[in-house]
Structure 1
Amino acid sequence: MKIGDIANRTGLKVETIRFYEREGLIDAPRRSDGNYRLYNHSHLDRLSFVKRSRDLGFTLDQVRDLLRLAENTRNSCDEVDEIVAVHIREIDRKLGDLAALRDEVVRWGGGCDANTIANCKVIDALSSGLPGQRADAIT
């Protein structure tokens, strides 16, 4: 398969595939006489694994480790479990941050009863983070 074909089959962009190759996540494909990259089914499987892992939010380093671990099917799953546990903790941290962000936006953005922008609590809350500026000073 040429790079466009494998991009279509994996849902990845051509540049992303090249990036993954540079990062060592996939082996360099052989080249045609015209110097086109020629991918095989093992590339397709590996790129699909990488894409799914990235879609689930794993970092490139975690994906690299998971790929390394997947190469020896007789090994224990302990390292995989630890990578997943670290990832879950990071997801939980992000969920906490998002919940706090939502609470903040709800607190000041739950509806503005002002008649003009000069008295709008949403604009005021957004402007309060700007040093020395208030809502009425922003144009």
Structure 2
Amino acid sequence: MPTTLEINLMLEGRTGTSPAQLTVYRQDWWEDGFDIEAISEEHNQRPQYWLRLTGHNAPKKGTYRLDGDDDREDRLLIEFGLYNRDVQPIENGAFILESIEFNQRSLKGEFEFTWEHDDEKVEVQCWDLEVLSPSTHDHEP
């Protein structure tokens, strides 16, 4: 039975700190990159968050600035927001890639960035990102 992959986030804004758990529903891996999408469960009173992590040109272990102004050819990109409403490319923060194996379709790392939503800045953090194998769920949420 396949294991469901989850990404645990901590969101800190002016109303306080709250956790969010996103389930990976799609992964694409190729010889020098990846695309991973995750979404939180739909709840009546809670927003539904969506996240995409993308790597291009064979990302290697190290720290990546998310503003895109560094001189690296390899790239890590994050898109984040409210599902179907307010998804934005993230252009601030950092992604620390601790390990990556393209042939095994796995990576470990952590990231943090600021997400601006409704005139509020929300700090988003993930300290335990671990993707071990491709998701068997290959469908839109």
> Normalising by structure 2, what TM-score?
0.19
Structure with more relative contact order (C-alpha pairs < 8 Å, separation 6 or more): 2
More strand by share: 2
